[in-house]
Amino acid sequence: MAQNYNPNSFKQQQAAGGIDLSATPNGSVFTARYSPESAAGDILPGEGVLLVDLGGTDFNGPPIVDKRTVNTTDPIWGTIIRQKKSQTQSPGDAVEVATLGAVGTFEASAAIARGGQVELILGASNEGIVAPLTTGVALGYSLDKATQAGELIRVKITAVGV
């Protein structure tokens, strides 16, 4: 029996590091520059960033951000948004950052209740992975329920660290 396929049945899906529930222009999204002095290497969508001061080598222009490397003390200014052209951003590149009030898409590392506070998991390849808040710095709260690891959830960013 032949199956009939609807050409419009392909549903677009979110990916970790994406942005949701936003209108353009979005006051919660900023263009920033990934610190040219960063020792953290490339940055991926969904990874957390903090504002930095480059001291004597600082320059006027967009805000300067660097990758968060310590989850218990580094404040969260926002998270890197997935770009259409390139998923990896190198030190010195322009990046888009979702900040306070934005809704981002992240991958759950475990079951997470709707409304539960979450924190980012830091690591070399932890692109946009969140866990229930334990000892880290809160990124925000989950708008969706995850029943297992690997599910994508939307997170309302409430972090205001600078």
How far is residue 5's CA from residue 3's CA, in Å, rounded to a whole number? 6
Structural domain includes residue 83? yes
**For position 135, what pLDDT does the model report?**
84
Q: Give the total number of structural domains in the chain.
A: 1
Structural domain includes residue 12? no
Q: Which domain holds residue 103?
A: 19-157
Structural domain includes residue 139? yes
Local confidence pLDDT in tens for the 162 residues of the chain = 444 444 554 555 566 767 666 655 677 888 999 998 888 888 888 888 999 888 877 777 888 999 888 777 778 899 998 877 778 889 999 999 999 989 989 999 999 999 999 998 886 566 788 999 998 889 999 999 999 999 999 999 998 776
Structural domain includes residue 6? no
**For position 21, what pLDDT does the model report?**
61
Structural domain includes residue 100? yes
Structural domain includes residue 14? no
* Terminal Cα distance for the chain, rounded: 61
Other CB atoms within 10 A of residue 116 CB:
16
Structural domain includes residue 142? yes
Distances (CA, A) of 16 to 35, 44, 80, 105, 133: 22, 10, 10, 5, 18
How far is residue 81's CA from residue 116's CA, in Å, rounded to a whole number? 22
Structural domain includes residue 110? yes
